[in-house]
Amino acid sequence: ILCLYCDQASAKAAQALWSDRMSLAGSNEFTIEVQDYVPFVQCKAKFLSPSFHVDDPVQLHVYLRADCPHPVRFSKLCVSLSNQEYNQLCVVEEPCKSQDILEASSQENMCLVPGKTRIYSFKFVAKTEDVGKKIEITAVDLMLGSDNGRCVFLNWRGGGGDAASSHEALLAARSFKSRGRVPEQHVEWDTVSIQASTMIISRIPKISVQLSHEPPALNNEMYRITVSIQSNEETVTKDVKLTAGLKPGQDANLTQSTHVTLNGLEMCDESHPALLPDIAIGDLQPGEKVEKCLYVRCVTTGARIFLFHVAYALSTKVEGKDITCRCHKDETVTIETVVPFEVAVKFVSTKFEHLDRVYVDIPFLLMTDILSASPWPLHLVTSQLQLAPTMAAMDQPQSQVEQVVLQTGECASECFSLQCPPVLNGTSSVASGQYLISWKRKSWCADAPVVTTVATLPHVMVETIPLYVHAELPSFGRVRESMPVRYHIQNRTGLVQDVEMSVEPSDAFMFSGLKQVRLRILPGAEQEMLYNFYPLMAGYQNLPQLNISLLRFPAVSGQLLRRFLPSRIFVKPQGRQAEDASIAAA
């Protein structure tokens, strides 16, 4: 072999030495790993693409060139792959003949002419189980000689190359640009790059997946996503399955707070998963379209990525061979979850003044505001007030927002009259209870499940007051007409209360009654004081101010007691008799 580089005299000497060696007993096969040398035959192997679809044949080229003064004849070319089942499909073999063939350039030609690049093409059909796997060229072997006598195997690891061509291949790979196909005899060796591996990927799916929904999702609602699947294949798609839900790999908290179901008539709970795998769709005829509704409940707000994976099987032919391809198509969508509304709660007095604390057995008002933050109309089905044992309603609470529809930015309010029963000694803050709101989207069907949102009412400070004063008076007055006002003074202690009362005059009223009086009220008893007020001016007028002082409880200010009394009233002007008669008739 080495004599290929020598002159005729040296070649004859080498042949004599070779004959002597052949006469010796020993192995008839020699393997020379030429990767680290500058051999007389150069080799490069490449897959024609970094990846092949499973329904396309895998194509592999092996480039050989004799780098010596004389032709080189070989009898066998083998390509070894990582999956050995393909090795038998990547072999070129021809019995060795005595004469040399120096012309002809067909693939069956087993002779390498100096300086001329030969291409040997291989083609095979990948197995369906290799989808997603990489196929690598592990070795290229070139056999010189025959199996009957002694033979030499030139071995290249991977995709070939050698010590001389590695640097050239690197430069060629960096500068290589796509060129048109050139005749085999004109292949430029330096432009050939080594591609020793390829990936088997699934067949391109011919199926459409479309999603229909109304973002954003509202917190805790059963959010509906309609999945439309249509087959564009030319044959029947079999065993179609849908995997739908939260895309894996996201935050663990999102997985725990996302629940998916196919039943939209009942509310999801913690037992429902975040991803539904392998939902059976069945077989689809060419052009057939099916729809599937998915319902998602997001317990927390924020953005989530949802995956819709459609997989199916299809029978096809590749290079005359029947194979069954598994195809799939993925669609993802990012859906933001927002709160449907904000709930504001406040405690006010019966005069609608803000309260930072309430008093035992004294009525006050609980006001709730529901402010819509949804871009879609909200249907408020009903509301419910669940009071804690430390809170009581003055009457039977009824929903005041039932069947109300809120547009974006609109507000619905409710008002409840409550009081706080006596509490245990030392208790200064008590729980109020819960406010339940039942709602759903207005645009959804009547069978859609109703969502119940629970708002926890704030704790409130509770204090005991020794004296409670409230007034009975008309809703309005009339100029120069008597307006009776009755004051009720209740002793809320177990002691006899000495109470001093006085009425300060007002420019808008005259009054009759005791201007100043001192009362003694027994424990738990109530005292009444009657006054007649005579309005002098029309409009909103300040009532005469009632001053109260407790001799036993000097720390209790009259201002605190006056907050339970009305301070203003509307006074109508004095009308004529005819107008009064018409108003009365109406």
Q: How confident is the model at residue 427 (pLDDT cuts 50, 70, 90)?
A: low
**The listed CATH number (2.60.120.260, 3.90.800.10, 3.40.640.10, 2.60.40.10) that belongs to domain 341-463:** 2.60.40.10
Q: Which two tokens stand for residue 107?
A: 């693939």
* E-strand stretches of 395-515: 404-406, 411-419, 429-430, 433-441, 451-456, 460-463, 467-472, 477-478, 483-491, 497-503, 509-512
Single-letter amino acid, residue 252: A
Whether the domain at 207-338 and the domain at 341-463 fall into the same CATH topology: yes
Give the separation between CA 315 and CA 483, rounded to whole angstroms: 96
- pLDDT for 175-216, tens place per residue? 434 444 444 456 788 888 899 999 999 888 999 999 999 999
304 contact partners, CB below 8 Å, separation of at least 6: 246, 250, 254, 258, 298, 334, 335, 337
Give the separation between CA 294 and CA 224, rounded to whole angstroms: 6
Phi and psi angles of residue 17, each rounded to the nearest 5 degrees, phi first: -65, -40
Buried b (16+ CB within 10 A) or exposed e, 123-135: ebbbebebbeeeb
- pLDDT for 67-125, tens place per residue? 888 888 888 999 999 999 999 999 998 765 544 433 443 444 788 888 888 999 999 99
What was the pLDDT predicted at 370?
A: 95
| DSSP class of 104 | -
What was the pLDDT predicted at 498?
A: 87
Region of 169 (left: φ > 0; alpha: ψ -120 to 50; beta: rest) is alpha
Single-letter amino acid, residue 392: A
> Is pLDDT at 459 greater than 70 in this prediction?
yes
Give the separation between CA 243 and CA 241, rounded to whole angstroms: 7
Q: What is the CATH number of domain 25-201?
A: 2.60.40.10
Average pLDDT rounded to a whole number, residues 284-311: 94
| DSSP class of 558 | H
Burial class of residue 17 (count of CB atoms within 10 Å of its CB; 0-12, 13-18, 19+): exposed
Q: How confident is the model at residue 485 (pLDDT cuts 50, 70, 90)?
A: very high
Q: How confident is the model at residue 583 (pLDDT cuts 50, 70, 90)?
A: low
- pLDDT for 496-536, tens place per residue? 888 888 888 888 899 888 888 898 889 889 899 899 999 99
| DSSP class of 446 | T
What was the pLDDT predicted at 98?
A: 43
Above pLDDT 70, what percent of the chain? 88
What was the pLDDT predicted at 165?
A: 59
Partnered with residue 527 across adjacent β-strands are 489
**Residue ranges per domain, the chain?**
25-201, 207-338, 341-463, 467-572
Q: What is the CATH number of domain 467-572?
A: 2.60.40.10
49 contact partners, CB below 8 Å, separation of at least 6: 59, 198
- For the question of whether the overall pTM of this predicted structure is more than 0.75, the answer is no
- pLDDT for 218-248, tens place per residue? 999 999 999 999 999 888 999 999 999 999 9
**The listed CATH number (3.30.830.10, 1.20.1530.20, 3.30.420.10, 2.60.40.10) that belongs to domain 207-338:** 2.60.40.10
Give the separation between CA 123 and CA 184, rounded to whole angstroms: 17
Residue with tokens 């969508």: 333
